[in-house]
Amino acid sequence: MGACKKNGYLSSTVTSNLDSNAVFQDSTYAMEFLNNLYVNIGFATDPMRFNGGSYAAGLESACDEAEGPNASSSNGFTMFALGTVTPTVVPTDAWGTSYGMIRAANQYLRHLGIIPFNAQLKAETKGEARFLRAWYYFILLEHYGGIPLIGDTVYADATQISAVRSSFRACVNYIASECDSAAVALPLTQSGSNYGRASKGACLALKSRLYLYAASPLFQNGGIGQGTALDSIVAYPDADPSRWVLAANAAQAVITTGAYSLFVDSIPGKLGYGFMSIFLQRYNTEYILAHMMDPNRYLEHLWDAPSRGGSGGPHPYQELLDAFPMSNGLAITDPNSGYDPSQPYQNRDPRMGYTYMHDSTLRPQVGTNAPSPLEIYLNANVSPPVASSQDAVYQGTPTGYYINKMIDTGVIQINIPTSSRVLPLIRYAEILLNYAEATNESQGPVTTVYQAVEAIRQRAGLRPYQLPTNLSQADMRKAIQNERRIELAFEGNRFFDVRRWMIADSTDNQMMHGMEIDRSSSGTVYKEFNVRQHHFSKAMYLWPLPLSEIAKLPQLQQNPLY
């Protein structure tokens, strides 16, 4: 996909033989055109983003979260895992899809005057188009740094394109300005048939994420472009601590609306159940922006165990599981935590069980008269021997685990129901973590930082949920980073978090592990094993611009070190 090809984003986006005037002079066609801008809103974090034939995965398999399907396949996620990504082979979706949607937004805005909407609907849909344009620009920014800003221009095929990359500062300011302008025209939240459309809350939340990224280490002092002409394009050329203040204020602006809250649900004996059930709630007060979907079995098809109809998607690594603390909130490496390596899944943070499907995980059977829940056994060796389960390690999973997060346990692929789920793009838990991180960096671990992080730990079911008192700024930073890692796992954040913190040369440059289980009459033995050596180079802190775009527009400057 190319932004500058004749059949790329510069060509017509109308998929019928109607010309643009005919489309926009019809209210139904015009609304359908706007609705199409939402179709790709979740592409960058979609679980099937890197779809290589029958092998599909998302950003979780391009970082330290999960092993992608078919270790020998050549596709987007293995390029990042193995450190072999280049401008020639890098996936082009971030560039082509984003610019395609930006052009479509510009087309809508250009023709807004002739659309037969009333004044209020015109104002609101204008706000939606501007928010969506900002959303797709942010996707470009997080992948590449500064990119060409085209304003309201809709390029024709014969038009000479100015494709000089704008400075990082200019891109941040433009996206923030678009969020501000869109917010004025939009309701704070959307409801009813409009649920899932852009809102003022979504504008504020995107601005929070934008300013958090802009304040992060990757984008200070020239980033990885230090000493080159690219230092002001891939990052700010300087470092300004006040950027953390902007990020904290942006997150606070979402919090003080009072429109959003952590979703809390309870079932006797199931601490932290709200963390599990929120992902099955189509309408809730925690999702600020979501990718709407029809009733579906999407994640069950990708992530569930083979015995329940899963197709063998990504499988989580041991490293992420080890990041979950014990139920008392202490890390498993803490000698006071009570962690027992002979019972590694006992008394853990409830989010671990809601995120991981591990050996002996209970799965309910579907049906009115279904018997008690079944345990899924993933052990590699059993004495006396039995037939290997299709779910077992080395059989159905290369790591000994399956993703449990967001899975609807009432859905079995080979059987019946569908889930009403939608996929979260920004939720309130992220905003609390944004606030905590930015405030800790600007003020240190003040009371409000503790409150934001502890609210998430309380909902998670940790008892006690409080953090240790008198943490240093560095210790609080470490705590916040780990909370983001486990709370937002498999939602597309980790890939970019380790880059903006500039720790990917450690997290994504190591051997990843799985767990083998040997069960016999004398007991059960858990043994870690090597799964894949990940490799990371400094260039990979940003994506390379696709070579196909550089070839068409030589004035585009490639990112450093490619």
pLDDT tens track, the chain, 562 positions = 343 333 333 334 444 456 888 999 999 999 999 999 999 999 999 999 987 555 689 999 999 999 998 767 778 899 999 999 999 999 999 999 999 999 999 999 999 999 999 999 999 999 999 999 999 999 999 999 999 999 998 877 656 566 799 999 999 999 999 999 999 999 999 999 999 999 999 999 999 999 999 999 999 999 999 888 899 999 999 999 999 999 999 999 999 999 999 999 888 888 999 999 999 999 999 999 999 999 999 999 999 988 888 887 899 999 999 999 999 999 999 999 999 999 999 999 999 999 999 988 887 665 545 555 666 667 766 665 555 678 888 889 999 999 999 999 888 765 568 999 999 999 999 999 999 999 999 999 999 999 999 999 999 999 999 999 999 999 999 999 999 999 999 999 999 999 999 999 999 999 999 999 888 778 889 999 999 999 999 999 999 999 999 988 888 999 999 9
> Using CA atoms, how far apart are residues 289 and 277, in angstroms rounded to an integer?
17
Amino acid identity of 553? Answer: L
Which pLDDT does position 70 carry in this prediction?
78
Q: Which residues contact 317 (CB under 8 A, 6 or more apart)?
A: 64, 65, 66, 67, 399, 401, 512, 513, 514, 531
User: Residue 316 belongs to what H/E stretch?
Assistant: strand 315-316
| CB-based burial, 194-228: b 16+ in 10 Å, e otherwise | eebbbbbbbbbbbbbbbbbbbbbebbbebbbbeee
For residue 507 the two structure tokens come to 């997290």
Tell me if 397 sits within 8 A of 391, measured CB to CB. Answer: yes
The 10 Å Cβ neighbour count of residue 263 is 19
CA gap 20, 34 in Å, rounded: 13
Distances (CA, A) of 113 to 33, 121, 125: 15, 12, 12
Residues 6+ apart with CB under 8 A from 17: none
Rounded Cα gap, residues 148 and 44, in angstroms: 19
d(CA 121, CA 130): 14
Return d(Cα 430, Cα 438) in angstroms, integer. 12
Phi then psi dihedrals of residue 16, to 5 deg: -120, -175
CB atoms within 10 A of CB 109: 16
Rounded CA separation 504/509 (Å): 7
Residue 260 CA, distance from chain mean position: 19
The amino acid present at 12, given as its one-letter code, is S
Residue 491 and residue 136: Cα distance in Å, rounded?
17
Pairing of strands 511-520, 381-382: parallel
b/e per residue, 9-44, with b = 16+ CB within 10 A?
A: bbeebbeeeeebeebbeeeebbeebbeebbebbbbb
Q: Which two tokens stand for residue 106?
A: 């510009």
The DSSP H or E segment spanning 78 is helix 76-82
In the prediction, which pLDDT does 154 show? 87
383 close to 524: Cβ distance less than 8 angstroms: no
Q: Scan for tokens 């590694």, then name that residue.
A: 344
Q: What is the pLDDT of residue 375?
A: 66
CB 222 within 8 A of CB 237: yes
Say which amino acid occupies 96. Answer: G
The rounded distance, in Å, linking the Cα atoms of 132 and 102 is 8
How far is the CA of 483 from the CAs of 170, 239, 479, 490, in angstroms?
31, 26, 6, 13
